[in-house]
Chains A and B, each alone.
Chain A
Amino acid sequence: MGVEQKAGNLGVVTVGLEEAVNWARINAMWPMLFGLACCAIEMMSAQAAHFDMSRFGMELMRASPRQSELMIVAGRVSRKMAPVLRRLYDQMPDPKWVISMGDCASCSGVFNNYALLQGVDEVVPVDVYVAGCPPRPEALIHGVITLYNKVKNEKLGTWV
Chain B
Amino acid sequence: MSEEHLKNTLKMLRDRFGLHESELMKYPPTFMATADKIVEISRTLRDEFGYNLLCELTAVDYYPEDMPRFHTVYGYYNIAENSRMAIRVPVNGENPSLPTLSEVYPGANWLERELWDMFGIKFEGHPDMRRILMPYDWEGHPLRKDYPLGYEEPQFTFNFDEIDKRKHHGRYEEA
Interface, chain A (partner B; CB < 8 A): 79-80, 108, 112-115, 118-119, 121-126, 158
Contact B169 A112 (CB under 8 A): no
Partner of B170, one of A79, A80, A108, A126: A126
Known pairs A122-B167, A158-B175; A115 contacts B152 (CB<8 A): no
The answer on a CB contact under 8 Å between B169 and A121 is yes
Residue in A79, A115, A125 whose CB lies within 8 Å of B169? A125
Cβ of A114 and Cβ of B142 under 8 Å apart? yes
Docked Cα-Cα span, A121 to B149, in Å, equals 21
Cβ-defined contact, B149 with A113, below 8 A: yes
Instruction: Report if B174 contacts A (CB, 8 A).
Output: yes
Least CB distance, A125 to chain B, in whole angstroms:
4
Question: Across the two chains, which residue of chain A brings its CB closest to B131?
Answer: A80
Complex Cα spacing A65 to B169, Å: 20
Query: Once the chains bind, are A125 and B135 in contact (CB under 8 Å)?
Result: no
* Structural contact, A114 and B150, CB atoms closer than 8 A: yes
- Size band of the interface chain B makes with A: 10 to 19
In the bound complex, CA of A53 to CA of B28 (Å) = 50
Assess the A113–B151 pair: CB atoms within 8 A.
yes
The total number of A-B Cβ pairs within 8 Å is 41
> Is B167 a contact partner of A115 (Cβ separation < 8 A)?
no
What is the CA–CA distance of A43 and B160 in the complex, to the nearest angstrom? 33
Residues in B neighbouring A80, C-beta threshold 8 A: 134-135
Q: Given contacts A80-B134, A114-B142, A158-B175, are A122 and B149 in contact (CB under 8 A)?
A: no
Expressed in whole angstroms, the Cα–Cα distance for A113 and B149 within the complex equals: 5
Smallest distance from the beta carbon of A22 to chain B beta carbons, Å? 14
**How far is B166's CA from A80's CA once the two chains are assembled, in angstroms?**
17
